Amino acid sequence: MLSGVCGGLSNHFGIDANLIRVLWIFFGATGVGVLIYVLMSLFLPVGE
């Protein structure tokens, strides 16, 4: 939600952004999701 990773992934894969956000919450509880979110926000290209 901070840098639009969930919205960008939902547009790319054609699925609902809320589903991706729920998955991030699940994986964020383990700490893995936070690391992946930060890495994706740094390395994914900026959309239009």
Global pTM reads 0.65
* Closest CA relative to residue 3, chosen from 28, 43, 27, 14: 43
Residues near 6 by beta carbon (within 8 Å), at least 6 away in sequence: 17, 20, 21, 24
pLDDT in tens, 19-46: 988 888 887 787 777 788 888 888 877 7
- Check if the beta carbon of residue 44 is closer than 8 Å to that of residue 38: no
Higher confidence at residue 4 or residue 16?
16
- Check if the beta carbon of residue 3 is closer than 8 Å to that of residue 42: no
Residues near 11 by beta carbon (within 8 Å), at least 6 away in sequence: 47
